[in-house]
Amino acid sequence: MRVTTASLVSTSLLLGQASALPHYHEGTKFFYENGTQFYMKGVAYQQESAAGGASTGSTKYTDPLANTAACKRDVPLLKALNTNTIRTYAVDPDADHSECMKLLDDAGIYVISDLSEPSLSINRDDPKWNVDLYKRYTGVVDNLSKYSNVIGFFAGNEVTNNNTNTPASAYVKAAVRDTKAYIKTNVNRWMGVGYAANDDPDIRAQIAYYFNCGNQSDAIDYWGYNIYEWCGSSTLQDSGYDKQIEFFKNYSVPVFFAEYGCNLPNGADGRIFEETTALYEKEMTDVFSGGIVYMYFEEANDYGLVSVKGSSASTMKNYDALKTRMASVAPSATAMDSYKPTNSPASCPELSKSWAVKGGTLPPTPDSNLCDCMYSSLSCVPADSTDAKDYGAIFNYICGAAPAACAGINGNTTTGVYGAYSMCNPKQQLGYVLDQYYQSQNSAKDACDFKGKAVLKSGNAESKCSSALSSASSVNSIAATATSDVGGGTSGGSAGAATSSNAAVAGGPMRGLFGLGELAVGLYVVVAMGVGAGMVLL
Ligand SMILES: *[C@@H]1O[C@H](CO)[C@@H](O)[C@H](O)[C@H]1NC(C)=O
Ligand SMILES: *[C@@H]1O[C@H](CO)[C@@H](O)[C@H](O)[C@H]1NC(C)=O
Ligand SMILES: *[C@@H]1O[C@H](CO)[C@@H](O)[C@H](O)[C@H]1NC(C)=O
Ligand SMILES: *[C@@H]1O[C@H](CO)[C@@H](O)[C@H](O)[C@H]1NC(C)=O
Ligand SMILES: *[C@@H]1O[C@H](CO)[C@@H](O)[C@H](O)[C@H]1NC(C)=O
Ligand SMILES: *[C@@H]1O[C@H](CO)[C@@H](O)[C@H](O)[C@H]1NC(C)=O
């Protein structure tokens, strides 16, 4: 069982390589392999990792695809709702998912999953795309790619969520690029990589265009919208859905609701799902490919369809409302044979007060070999006993005293200048910065001390490393003075020090859980978005 997109077939035919994977992604619709159009009839399926609103800094999450008993309990209820897709927010790449995936497959249910988890995600306030995140993302791809009912992934969920944190989108787009490339090299079938966005009026157009613009190897395969603007009884006009239809009419990849289901005015159980009916009617289906109801589990945020206690699950009133709606939707289907995509990718947005990301240049691809080579070549490194929470102070000191030392680990999304080691992990970056500082002080012994937090070692540049190290070094010396486009592209470095926060887990309107990055000491971010506020912001 698998879903594909028009491009898989049409591009292959154009290139005359029926078995080749698509290089470019065109077309705004999803299709089954047999050529029938596919509409997502989805439900978000992941328990909150912490009670809603609790910013404990806990990084624990419950992998919804690793609990066979829960899948046995829940899959029949999902199937009875006519669900054909679940969205999961954090899965464990080392867990065994085979039983849940089989139960889902047998029920005709696909999976679309976020790639991050609370402690390994792109942090909107301190964004990175580094070797630790790359390992996490590709680990999830490895583990889920063997199941044919996986449609694809989200490289981020509401990471940039307003005009104060647009730089994070550069790092998410680099993650899109690298995850797509990884799939293309390692997986013998199409799986998509997209982004799930909130709806913020200040950046609505820029962010949608940004993820779609430029080289299509770097661009999203689909756009997911988390949208809560139809509450109770409404209309296409009052909910602003009509403006979304208008906006996405000329978008070049599929668009669907990655979350929907406003719980106003009467809580989860007061939901009547009028918008579900609208979503599968012609005005919407011309442009949208269905959507994912938020969410299966009734929890503190009150968006559930089913109340779960231990091994028992009881469906709620709004489950029945959704079931009735779903049973009667009949979206008109375009046949793949007669479908000719006509839309083209957007142009990248201009830099402006509300968009601080240059199109075209992305942070570099994480390369752990290069980082390892760099680290072993260093003479001054963090002492083994140095705690990650001490890193920040040392970075601040050195980057303040000797800014050039830090050019190799920094990234600037408005200029498109990225140090070659901006994609290494925090310890490797600290080593690089310590060593740069030490060298800049003519290798004075006391320049590698920092109260015992740094130590000397013998630098050992292996010969297999020399050419990579010398290109990185030239990128970094240009980056130290450059004002545009250095170090980005397909390899080199991105991202600075910490990872984490704003993971997709608990993608709902009350995002309760935020991980703490190694360096993000004391960073508690509680997002209480105003979504669901029935307001037409368009
Ligand atoms: C194609 O496959 C889907 C999913 O199995 C099925 O619902 C649909 O009826 C099939 N279409 C045709 C024309 O056989
Ligand atoms: C996923 O992880 C489980 C548990 O380690 C392992 O059994 C399984 O082989 C992994 N699957 C893949 C495709 O890596
Ligand atoms: C932007 O989003 C951040 C994180 O959610 C929030 O803290 C901040 O208040 C928002 N700023 C504006 C201007 O909305
Ligand atoms: C787009 O990116 C791919 C992968 O990095 C590259 O091979 C290709 O040459 C690029 N295409 C253009 C038109 O720049
Ligand atoms: C879609 O149309 C709008 C308005 O004409 C235009 O600004 C935008 O660039 C177009 N987008 C694409 C992807 O062509
Ligand atoms: C990026 O570079 C520009 C131009 O040099 C500078 O004005 C801006 O402060 C830099 N941004 C960051 C986040 O360092």
Tell me, letter by letter, the H, E, C secondary structure of 112-154: EEECCECCECCCCCCCCCCHHHHHHHHHHHHHHCCCCCEEEEE
Lowest mean pLDDT segment, chosen from 114-118, 149-153, 406-410, 497-501: 497-501
Amino acid identity for residue 83 in this structure:
T
Active site residue 259: yes
| Same domain assignment for residues 334 and 378 | no
What tens digit of pLDDT does each residue of 290-343 get? Answer: 999 999 999 999 999 999 998 999 999 999 999 999 999 999 988 888 899 999
User: Residue 143 belongs to what domain range?
Assistant: 39-338
Cα–Cα dist 120/137, whole Å: 9
Of 338, 354, 377, which one is at a domain's C-terminal end?
Answer: 338
Q: Is residue 84 part of a domain?
A: yes
Spatial separation of the C-alpha atoms in residues 434 and 442, rounded to whole Å: 13
In the beta sheet, which residues pair with residue 111? Answer: 86, 150
36 pLDDT band (50/70/90 cuts)? confident
pLDDT tens-digit map of 199-245: 999 999 999 999 999 999 999 999 999 999 999 999 999 999 999 99
158 belongs to a structural domain = yes
Rounded Cα gap, residues 356 and 168, in angstroms: 9
Residue 81 CA to residue 149 CA, distance in Å, equals: 18
Task: Tell me how far the alpha carbon of residue 414 lies from the centroid of ligand 6, in angstroms.
Answer: 7
pLDDT at 358: 96
Same domain, 522 and 442: yes
Residue whose CA is closest, atom 10 of ligand 4? 215
149 and 282 share one domain: yes
The pick from 96, 99, 146 for probing ligand 2's pocket by mutation, whose C-beta has the most ligand atoms within 8 angstroms, reads 96
Instruction: Reply yes or no on whether the pLDDT at 429 is more than 80.
Output: yes
Mutate to test the pocket of ligand 3, among 121, 159, 164 (most ligand atoms within 8 A of CB): 164
Active-site residue, from 26, 48, 117, 158: 158
Average pLDDT, the chain: 86
Local structure of 12: helix, strand or coil: helix
How many domains, the chain? Answer: 2
Residues 280 and 416 in one domain: no
CB atoms within 10 A of CB 126: 21
User: Are residues 187 and 93 both part of a single domain?
Assistant: yes
What stretches of 71-127 adopt beta strand conformation (E)? Answer: 85-88, 110-114
Residue 348 domain flag:
no
Residue 485 above 90 pLDDT?
no
First to last CA, the chain: 38
264 vs 297: CA distance, rounded Å: 17
Catalytic residue among 259, 275, 299, 518: 259
Looking at residue 313, its pLDDT comes to: 97
Specify whether 301 is located in the same domain as 433.
no
Confidence of residue 14 (pLDDT cuts 50, 70, 90): very low
On whether both 418 and 528 belong to a single domain, the answer is yes
Which ligand places an atom closest to the C-alpha of 166?
Answer: 3
User: Does residue 121 lie in a domain region?
Assistant: yes
Instruction: Write the Ramachandran bin of 436: left for phi over 0, alpha for psi from -120 to 50, otherwise beta.
Output: alpha
Ligand 2 centre and the CA of 103: distance in Å?
Answer: 17
The answer to whether position 308 is within a domain reads: yes
96 Cβ below 6 A of ligand 2: yes
Question: Does 313 lie in the same domain as 394?
Answer: no
Residue 247 Cα to ligand 5 midpoint, Å, equals 8
Specify the CATH number for the domain of residue 516. Answer: 1.20.58.1040
Rounded Cα distance, 238 and 342, in Å: 30
Indicate if 296 and 437 belong to the same structural domain: no
In this predicted structure, the answer to whether residue 404 has a pLDDT above a threshold of 60 is: yes
CA distances from 369 to 182, 461, 497 (A): 16, 13, 18
Query: How many residues can be counted in the chain?
Result: 538
Q: Looking at the CA of residue 161, tell me the nearest atom of ligand 3.
A: 2
What pTM did the predictor assign? 0.88
Nearest CA to ligand 2 atom 13: 143
Residue from 164, 353, 415 to probe ligand 6 pocket by mutation (most atoms less than 8 Å from CB): 415
pLDDT higher than threshold 70 for residue 140: yes
To the query of whether residue 117 is one of the catalytic residues in this protein, the response is: no
Q: Check if the beta carbon of residue 5 is closer than 8 Å to that of residue 190.
A: yes
